[in-house]
Chains A and B, each alone.
Chain A
Amino acid sequence: EIVLTQSPATLSLSPGERATLSCRASQSVSNYLAWYQQKPGQAPRLLIYGASNRATGIPARFSGSGSGTDFTLTISSLQPEDFALYYCQQRNNWPETFGQGTKVEIK
Chain B
Amino acid sequence: QVQLQESGPGLVKPSETLSLTCTVSGGSITGYYWTWIRQPPGNGLEWIGYIHYSGKTKYNPSVQSRVTISVDKSENQFSLKLSSVTAADTAVYYCARYTELLGKYYMDVWDKGTTVTVSS
| Majority-rule SS of B interface residues | strand
Most chain A CB within 10 A, of B43, B96, B107, is at B107
Asked if A50 lies at the interface with its beta carbon under 8 angstroms from chain B, I say yes
How many residues of A are in contact with the other chain, CB < 8 A? 25
Contact A95 B61 (CB under 8 A): yes
Q: Is the CB of B106 within 8 A of A99?
A: no
Give the secondary structure class of A's interface: loop
CA distance A91 to B100 in the complex (A): 12
Interface string of A26-50 (1 = CB under 8 A from B): 0000001010100000111110011
Residues of A bordering B, CB below 8 Å: 1, 32, 34, 36, 42-46, 49-50, 53, 55-56, 87, 89, 91, 94-101
| 8 sampled A-B residue pairs with Cβ under 8 A | A1-B61, A43-B111, A50-B104, A87-B44, A89-B107, A98-B45, A99-B44, A100-B44
